[in-house]
Chains A and B, each alone.
Chain A
Amino acid sequence: MSWEPIIGLEIHIHLKTRTKMFCRCEVAYFEPENSRTCPVCLAHPGSLPVPNAKAIEWTIKLGLALDCEIAERAIFHRKNYFYPDNPKGYQISQYDEPLCRGGRLVMPGPEGDAEIGIVRAHLEEDAAKNVHVGGAEGRIGGATATLVDFNRAGAPLVEIVTQPDLRSADQARRFLQLLRQTIVELGISDAEMEKGSLRVDVNVSVRPEGSDELRTRTEMKNLNSFAFAARAIAREVERQIAVYEAGGEVEQETLHFDPGAESAPPLRSKEEAQDYRYFPEPDLVPVEPPRELVERVRAELRESPATRIRRIAAELDYDLSEELVTSGRDRLYERVPGDRRGVANVLMNQFAAAGVDPEAVDPEELGKLIEARSRIPRDKFTEALAASGDSGFAAEPYLGDGLVADTGELEPIVEKILDANPGQVEAYRGGKEGLLGFFVGQVMKETQGKADPQVVNELLRQKLS
């Protein structure tokens, strides 16, 4: 029996506005606890919310980038539940009249485009931060108290919900990367899982290939990286298949992962369906996005990552093209002259490792550097790359004398010479160190003088010792 994974995602991104969603406290990053609060985000009696105009505009921008329909009329709802990180006892969110609906994210690929449906994108406010303290070592959940910091309470979040259109753990990972890149390019969020500005919950089920049923799904929460999410999804898919093949039934469960201990098995819980008693937020009036606003924001959108992947894939392959775009290096790639694959490979490997901001680089100069890379010693090349973002960078000083310094190229030649002269090798090893010059000479003859003598020397010494 062949099985097909059915995967849907719920993504929360933290908008990088200056102030919170419903009050004008500055959004805090690493500030002392409770130093960015006010009567509104502390839910003091009598406080009232006032929406952040920028957050609304940016949500519309995200909706347009995801090909969503922007609602003619959207309202806020109250989602009622009790928890220490929820000061009002309700979260202001959106329910059945969200700001953005019915979009898609297109993932170009060698077999054609995969369209992943976006059910909706809506605005809501973040909860406070709970710190559980106390508790004996080794006891799970043995906290003696909870400390609450409301700095984060009220920060603006956009929740994006996909259709269950993803069909593999790897596709889910690539989707997240593409979505993240799309969001980052809009300038509305840093969308970094490690920093908490992007959170992902996953819904996973499986079904026999070819059928169109939807079976019970498992929810996974608190995944802290795309790679980990992919692994967790794959494991869960395997587990569910095993359950069905053994004749059992998959139960509805939520898996809570421990972000601090990846290898720990997740806590499983059968959460009772919560009754959130949604009702329209009476302290807020409806949002009817003016047409001029929507069109202005639409006009500001740049070329989508998907379009660029497709274009670049024409000269490379989809995988490399996708990597370039989702890592934010494709614009540089398109401006650097030279052999396409060579440039792409350097950008994705050595350049990536150098950690330089692609926006800061002079593409012409980088192009010269990459073209000459086989003639530059490795460490010098690394040094040059690290400096390539500096203003006024020029490749010239690093290009050297045109000698081949790449050990990768020289090593086989050195070995060839040594293989061809076993007698001299033995003599050298017996003490005739003067023979080093002979070997150097042979390599130079073989490379028609193009080899860098220093590198050759080094290689010979290594191999003769």
Chain B
Amino acid sequence: MKLETLRLTAEEGMGLLERGEVSAAELHGAYLEAISERDDELHAYLRTVDEADGPSIPIAFKDLISTRGVETTAGSKILAGYVPVYDATVATRCRETGLTLLGKTNMDEFAMGSSTENSAYGPTRNPWDPDRVPGGSSGGSAAAVAAGLAPWALGSDTGGSVKQPASLCGIVGLRPTYGSVSRYGIVAFASSLDQIGPMAKTVRDCALLYRIVAGRDPCDSTTVELPQPVEIPEREDLKGLRVGVPRELNDVEGIEPGVKEQVDRTIERCRELGAEVGETSLPRSVDYGLACYYLIAPSEASSNLARYDGVRYGLRVTGDDGVRAMYDRTRDAGFGDEPKRRIMLGTYALSAGYYEAYYGQAQKVRTVIAQEHAAAFESFDVLVSPTSPTVAFGLGEKTASPLAMYLSDVLTIPSNMAGLPGLSIPCGLSDGLPVGFQLIGPQFSENTLFQVGHALEHAIEFDFVPGRLA
């Protein structure tokens, strides 16, 4: 029996296993077969694992998740051939639940990007249209799930890198509350923003995966216990819920009309499902969010990427002279343009004389953003907006201008700066391409996000199998 992986959800897969209708090895094999069929074109994976090493369903990991014994590159040449001697905590938790590693997925180098075109190993293509990007930086994970090359996957989100590719690929992606999922073993980009997020075909799958990985890790001082257990959503209505529509998030310049149409329709559905819907405002969060992010994230990154110096692992380029020349050449050869830009930007923002004006000021803007969101949540349970201003754009379309690429994150960044969780669900198509609907909640409100997302998903009935692959 050829197992069709395009439509299979993680929950269904686990059901098949439980009922003995399929073995873990067969399931793993089915995905490997799908990969051999479709991944030459899509390039969602950087490498796959041949043998199922657990009794449960497979999972794909973005290639910045350290996997012991399996090469981990973070999409960069500077880590080509690097094989971790330890597992990330999220990898351990998946393994202990019985999940088996399918492979490591492609990504923008060091998670810096919104299209996966910054991967040192070539871009990933969008399963809905291979001439378009899957989004980024977790583009490989998103494409893998959308194309039936993995039942579910883990990605990482710093400025929107789970939510945005989920939106562009028509799947569900959660960026959790900062501190709810361990970063131990995750190749660091921006320490105060990075979070590992589940990516799947359904909201329930997302919740199931979140439940597996979330919770305090003694190896990561910035994690905390979840205040309540994760609930797998059941309800299909939204009675009693208050949905807020921040005008600034929904009116940003550059939102495509097709995107706006689907999002507005979805907001209408909220009303139909019984929610109270009202307008609200985040006066400065959207206006200043990008600038705030593009100061703080590169600053932290410039420091986090200093360890890539050719001394203990990874690429080394030597000459006849001393260690400083080795650093300079190794880092010039090993880093692509985007990491170099961000490292220099961050170094500048932290340097003597500029710290207060740039990094210091950005941390204050961050406080303002958190306060504005908290104020909005006094009247609403969730805030909604498009996830991305556009549907999937063409490969090469935005690569000439870094700033143009940065704008892809304008809607996902503000809530990230406040450490808040965000769920993206597909809400419709525009010109045949998926549109993502973003749900933002207060800290540790994932259960509410799942509840709203699940109810909407049930009402919208979005077909997550890309038309051209069906």
| Residues of chain A at the chain B interface (Cβ within 8 Å) | 39, 42-51, 78, 80, 82, 84, 87-90, 146, 148, 275, 277-279, 282-285
A82-B306, A88-B307 given as contacts; is B72 within 8 A of A285 (CB)? no
Find out whether the CB atom of B82 lies under 8 angstroms from the CB atom of A88. Answer: no
Taking a contact as CB atoms closer than 8 A, the residue among B84, B192, B350 that contacts A277 in the complex is: B350
**Which DSSP category, helix, strand, loop or mixed, fits chain A's interface?**
loop
Give the chain B neighbours of A279 by CB distance below 8 A.
Answer: 299-300, 303, 350, 355, 359
User: Which bucket holds chain B's interface residue count?
Assistant: 35 or more
Mind listing 28 A-B residue pairs with CB under 8 Å?
A39-B84, A42-B312, A44-B66, A44-B86, A45-B79, A45-B84, A45-B187, A45-B307, A46-B66, A46-B88, A46-B183, A46-B187, A48-B183, A50-B218, A50-B219, A80-B306, A82-B327, A89-B307, A275-B351, A277-B352, A278-B355, A279-B300, A279-B303, A279-B355, A282-B191, A283-B191, A283-B221, A285-B221
Q: Does B400 contact A (CB under 8 A)?
A: no
Give the chain A neighbours of B312 by CB distance below 8 A.
Answer: 42-44, 87
Q: Does B309 contact A (CB under 8 A)?
A: yes
* Distance from B364 Cβ to chain A, minimum over Cβ atoms (Å): 13
Q: Does B3 contact A (CB under 8 A)?
A: no
Q: Which of B291-339 contact A (CB under 8 A)?
A: 299-300, 302-303, 305-307, 309, 311-313, 323-324, 327
Most buried by A among B74, B184, B190: B184
How far apart sit A353 and B260, CA to CA, in the bound complex (Å)?
Answer: 89
How far apart sit A116 and B183, CA to CA, in the bound complex (Å)?
Answer: 45
| 11 other A-B residue contacts (CB within 8 Å) besides A45-B82, A80-B303, A80-B306 | A44-B312, A46-B64, A50-B218, A50-B221, A277-B302, A277-B352, A278-B355, A279-B355, A284-B221, A284-B222, A285-B222
* Distance from B64 Cβ to chain A, minimum over Cβ atoms (Å): 8
Please, what's the 1-or-0 string for B401-424, where 1 marks a CB less than 8 Å from any CB in chain A?
Answer: 000000000000000000000000
A45-B74, A46-B188 given as contacts; is B324 within 8 A of A39 (CB)? no
A45-B66, A84-B323, A90-B306 given as contacts; is B85 within 8 A of A39 (CB)? yes
A50-B218, A82-B324 given as contacts; is B84 within 8 A of A89 (CB)? no
* Distance from A109 Cβ to chain B, minimum over Cβ atoms (Å): 42
* Distance from B405 Cβ to chain A, minimum over Cβ atoms (Å): 24
Name which residue of chain B comes closest to A274, CB basis. Answer: B352
Give the chain A neighbours of B222 by CB distance below 8 A.
Answer: 48, 282-285
Find out whether the CB atom of A45 lies under 8 angstroms from the CB atom of B188. Answer: yes
Find out whether the CB atom of A282 lies under 8 angstroms from the CB atom of B300. Answer: yes
Give the chain A neighbours of B323 by CB distance below 8 A.
Answer: 84, 146
How far apart sit A87 and B299, CA to CA, in the bound complex (Å)?
Answer: 19
Q: Does B287 contact A (CB under 8 A)?
A: no
* Distance from A39 Cβ to chain B, minimum over Cβ atoms (Å): 5
Q: Does B263 contact A (CB under 8 A)?
A: no
Find out whether the CB atom of B309 lies under 8 angstroms from the CB atom of A82. Answer: yes
How far apart sit A279 and B350, CA to CA, in the bound complex (Å)?
Answer: 7
Find out whether the CB atom of A89 lies under 8 angstroms from the CB atom of B184. Answer: no
How far apart sit A45 and B183, CA to CA, in the bound complex (Å)?
Answer: 11
Please, what's the 1-or-0 string for B166-195, where 1 marks a CB less than 8 Å from any CB in chain A?
Answer: 000000000000000001111110111000
Find out whether the CB atom of A277 lies under 8 angstroms from the CB atom of B351. Answer: yes
Give the chain B neighbours of A84 by CB distance below 8 A.
Answer: 311, 323
How far apart sit A246 and B85, CA to CA, in the bound complex (Å)?
Answer: 63
Q: Does B220 contact A (CB under 8 A)?
A: yes
How far apart sit A243 and B59, CA to CA, in the bound complex (Å)?
Answer: 73
* Distance from B322 Cβ to chain A, minimum over Cβ atoms (Å): 9
Give the chain A neighbours of B183 by CB distance below 8 A.
Answer: 46, 48
Name which residue of chain B comes closest to A285, CB basis. Answer: B221
A48-B184, A82-B327, A277-B347 given as contacts; is B221 within 8 A of A43 (CB)? no
